[in-house]
Amino acid sequence: MTFHYPNGKRYVAAAVDTAASKSKDKKWSYGKRGMTLEEDINETNQYYLDQGLAVIHKKPTPVQIVDVNYPKRSAAVIKEAYFKQASTTDYNGVYKGRYIDFEAKETKLETSFPLKNFHVHQIEHMKQVVRHGAICFVLLRFSLADEVYYLEAKHLLAFWQRMLDGGRKSITKTEVENLGCLIPLGFQPRINYIKVINNLYHL
């Protein structure tokens, strides 16, 4: 048995065996917020899928494949490849017939969210899908406070434009609080962003 002296912070178990803790024991270690934002969203999407609520997937990481080996009697091995810049956001899918499209980012800053977290391509993509009637947004996580906000793409695009016009290169926390919607973190689903969609779009 291990003792932990109180230090005013929540006890965070040391990561012992990441391979094991990543698989089956996940559900028992929720208290430990070692989960990444991506893992939380993937589990949320899996929950939506299992419950028949929505079909939303993360897109695979785009990779430029240069060299592949085809060994006899075993799977092809990619021997040389490079990460490519994504031309879209990471997540998309369908909810009640509507096209859903979003990106998720986090910051360790406490009072603002830097816009450099987004790439020009992603911003352009968001503009395009918004024009075509998508439900498009970003999930912004302030990791130190462990808060996740839903911010509609139209607001992000306005802040991006403010930056292009010579304004600040970030969104203040207050702006996120005022224009975004704080998503209470839960067990299942972890980040219930569909609830926000229901409210915003009366679905």
- Binding site residue list for Mg(2+): 88, 90, 103, 122
Is position 92 an interface residue for its own copies (rule: CB under 8 A)? yes
Choose which of 15, 31, 51, 62 interacts with its own copies (CB under 8 A): 62
Is position 73 an interface residue for its own copies (rule: CB under 8 A)? no
Q: Which two tokens stand for residue 124?
A: 């352009």
User: CB-wise, 59 or 154, nearer to its own copies?
Assistant: 59
Choose which of 81, 158, 182, 203 interacts with its own copies (CB under 8 A): 81
Point out which span in 52-60, 109-117, 143-151, 162-170 binds its own copies (CB under 8 A). Answer: 52-60
Using CA atoms, how far residue 28 sits from 46, 153, 161, in Å, is 17, 34, 43
Is position 193 an interface residue for its own copies (rule: CB under 8 A)? no
Question: Residues 122 to 141: which contact its own copies by CB under 8 A?
Answer: 125, 128-129, 131-134
Q: Which two tokens stand for residue 49?
A: 């899928």
Is position 98 an interface residue for its own copies (rule: CB under 8 A)? yes
Name the minimum Å distance from CB 186 to its own copies: 22
Is position 70 an interface residue for its own copies (rule: CB under 8 A)? no
Long-range pairs for 176-180: beta carbons < 8 A, 24 or more residues apart? 176/113, 176/140, 176/149, 176/151, 177/149, 179/151, 179/152, 179/155, 180/140, 180/149, 180/150, 180/151, 180/152, 180/155
Point out which span in 27-35, 72-80, 177-185, 190-198 binds its own copies (CB under 8 A). Answer: 72-80
| CB of 47 closer than 8 Å to CB of 160 | no
DSSP 6-63: --SS--------HHHHHTGGGGGGTTSTT--HHHHHHHHHHHHHHTTS-EEEEPPPPE
Is position 153 an interface residue for its own copies (rule: CB under 8 A)? no
If residue 142 lies in a helix (H) or strand (E), which one and from where to where? strand 135-142
Question: Residues 159 to 188: which contact its own copies by CB under 8 A?
Answer: none
Please give the residue ranges that form the binding site for its own copies (CB under 8 A). Answer: 49, 52, 54-55, 57, 59-63, 65, 75-84, 87-88, 92-101, 125, 128-129, 131-134
